[in-house]
Amino acid sequence: MEHVQRHLRMALDAARMTIWDSELHDGRVVDSTVKWFGAGATLLGLPSGDLKQPFSVFLQHVCQEDRDQLLDTMQTAVDNRAGYEVEYRVIWPDKSRHWLAAKAHVFCNGDDRAQPLGTLGVVWDITERKNSEQTTARQRELAAVTLRSIGEGVITTNAHGETDYLNYIAEQLTGWTHDEARGLHIASTLKLVDDAGEAIPEHVALQCLRLRQAIGMSSQNQLVTRDGRHVAVEESAAPIWSDGGELLGAVVVFRDVSHERKLTKQLSWNASHDTLTGLINRREFEVQIAAALHSAKEDGHVHALLYMDLDQFKIVNDTCGHSAGDLLLQLLSKMLQTQMRDSDILARLGGDELGVLLPHCPPDQALLIADVLRQSVKNFRFVWDDHTFELGVSIGLVEVNHHSKSMTELLMAADQACYLAKERGRNRVHLYQESDQRLARRQGEMQWVSRLNEAFEHQYFRLYAQPIVRLGQQDEEEHDEVLIRIQPAKGDLILPGAFIPAAERYDMMTAIDRWVIRAVCRHVQSLGAQPDANGRLPAQYSVNLSGTSLGDEGLHDYIVQQFAEHGISPAQICFEITETAVIANLVKAQDFMAGLKALGCRFSLDDFGSGLSSFAYLRALPVDFLKIDGVFIRGIATNAINRALVKAINEVGHVMGLSTVAEYVEDEPTLAVVRELGLDYAQGYAVGTLRPLSASAGA
């Protein structure tokens, strides 16, 4: 018998178990006595050795939250004369907690109906297993919480492509719940089609399972939801492996990219179209001309190119403002399209310049079409408030054939033909001839050089000021942009759009910029530098500088000389430089700006957003103001893309500590949006009109 007991104890020790024994009194567990043998007491954190203790004392070692369950389990087994299995926690004297598992049977004196005498079984420590289970449970819960909370849809499949799991986002996007989708094929729960709505060659999850490798992000597909809606998505898949290297399934991650894809398409459209009229822009028109030229050279086709310049358009702009001019361009564009063949291509090339490509159209037919367009513009009447305007159009026509040299020369020829149409009386069509090129160049040069020199000699230049108004708070300092015009002895005021391109072409811009700087300094000197009677500080003036002037080595010294001669504080002058001019002269611009910035001058970057890498170089320039390109401001009240772009530019500008200016704010709806977006300044007819600057003449 002793031999058997020794072997039993060895077996229990090997299994890390000990005998669990109790003596019952009157069938009540709570009044029983618990016996521990050998190392059993160590399960309670007590020294090894035989131990006998009342059940109530033993119960003090049990965690309070487990006591009732342990007692009920044992008492129920005693009452039923049955066995029991139970797990509970004990607290050792060092306050550490340990898990114990017990398995025992009730024994009676005689048959099973007799009074129970006690329980006998085994007890062992399961702390390590419980900790492992809890760690695994925490990891599973953490994974589940993570999958529920991430912003992308997640679906897992088994090795056969059948759905195992959907997270919350996947449920919302697909329309399937986890329970409904479980067991269905992934092609049903995540139904994908291409951008045209056609079935895709192979589902991303199935491709992943077939190739046994991760499949990168695809951004050309659409998800067909359970209720039939199409949602643009990006999706990718990766295999799920077991520890032994067995392929268990795949995990597919996808997200809704409807907004991004719509924005991409809109930006792509904007890159090739004029946002005001909806016509293709100059860049895309040049692509079409290049294609026509290729077909002319390769296949001998004959096409025609029209260059159209609206007559009297500037009168509408000057009389009624840019909003009227914009509406006029929109109405004219729609009207002209009704007068053309389906194959003809109409484009907006500039402010009031349009281009037409007439495919497969010989010159005689092109002349007829051009005259129809000319007459339709002539018959068009534009009404704004109480004003009615009659317009005209000068059209240059050039043939595109196998002798044509290049797209650039075709456009130049059409432009020159248009110029000659204007010179010969306007509102007419001129067919380009080889002899026109030399004539147009010579006449153009003579005319503009002569007129600009005349303006210098007779002081025909005039300066105007347009307010730059601070939004959101009262500004103690006036801020005006200075704009130049030519007022000849006879005739209408000439806007810069007419003479600035010629001045740039014939190297006269530096002289004009110096004239403006000197005139502004004389004006500031005449006003004095003290606050006025209302306490308003001296005005600040924004002076435009051309790209040519940025490369003028002597301009910095000239400006400093004018400040000294007229007693001008540099802080009153802000120089405006266009973004494109800065890009073309970046190194010189940095040096020029740094020198004047040190004196106290401020700088405004004009037409911001029009360049290809606007933000890339912005931190390298000592700029105070960002003037957002008017092409983004116009129509901002109704164009969500422009609104988003302006919002982004404004936020980045503010992060960099710059003030932002919205130009071409022509009406109240536009002004309201500009205010809402938090721009600092506005400029345009909605906040202030042009007024003459008194020091313009005689400078």
Q: Which two tokens stand for residue 28?
A: 């009540």
| pLDDT tops 80 at residue 434 | no
CA-closest candidate to residue 123, choices 230, 10, 220, 35: 35
pLDDT band at 178 (very low <50, low <70, confident <90, very high): confident
pLDDT band at 149 (very low <50, low <70, confident <90, very high): low
CA distance 444 to 200: 60
CA distance 310 to 440: 19
| pLDDT tops 80 at residue 599 | yes
Q: DSSP letter string over 355-394? A: EEEETT--HHHHHHHHHHHHHHHHH-EEEETTEEEE-EEE
Single-letter residue type at 265:
K
Q: What is the pLDDT of residues 388-412, one digit of tens each?
A: 888 889 999 999 998 888 888 888 8
| pLDDT tops 70 at residue 694 | no
CB 285 within 8 A of CB 355: yes
pLDDT at 174: 92
Sequence-ordered alpha helix ranges (H) in 384-433:
407-423
Q: Which two tokens stand for residue 440?
A: 């147009």
pLDDT at 195: 83
Q: What is the pLDDT of residues 71-93, one digit of tens each?
A: 999 889 888 888 889 999 999 99
User: Does the pTM of the predicted model rise above 0.85?
Assistant: no
Q: Which residues pair with 494 in a beta bridge?
A: 486
Helix 640-655, helix 668-677: angle, nearest 10: 40
CB 469 within 8 A of CB 527: no
CA–CA–CA angle 554, 559, 563 (5° rounding): 150
Of 348-352, 603-607, 659-663, give the range with the top mean pLDDT.
Answer: 659-663
| pLDDT tops 90 at residue 514 | yes
Sequence-ordered alpha helix ranges (H) in 236-362:
258-272, 282-299, 313-320, 322-338
pLDDT band at 10 (very low <50, low <70, confident <90, very high): low
E-strand ranges in 435-536 read: 461-467, 469-470, 477-486
- Top pLDDT among 260 and 611 is at 260
Single-letter residue type at 39:
A
Residue found by looking up tokens 């564009």 in the block: 333
Q: Which residues contact 466 (CB under 8 A, 6 or more apart)?
A: 480, 481, 483, 683, 688, 689, 690, 691
Lowest mean pLDDT among 316-325, 464-473, 543-552: 316-325
| pLDDT tops 60 at residue 119 | yes
Q: What is the pLDDT of residues 96-114, one digit of tens each?
A: 999 999 998 888 876 656 7
CB 541 within 8 A of CB 508: no
Q: What is the pLDDT of residues 261-301, one digit of tens each?
A: 887 777 778 778 888 888 989 888 999 999 999 999 888 89
The pLDDT mean for the chain works out to: 84
For each of the domains in the chain, give its residue range(s) and CATH number, in order of start.
Answer: 2-131 (3.30.450.20), 150-256 (3.30.450.20), 265-432 (3.30.70.270), 454-692 (3.20.20.450)
CA distance 535 to 524: 17
- How much is the average pLDDT of 591-602? 91
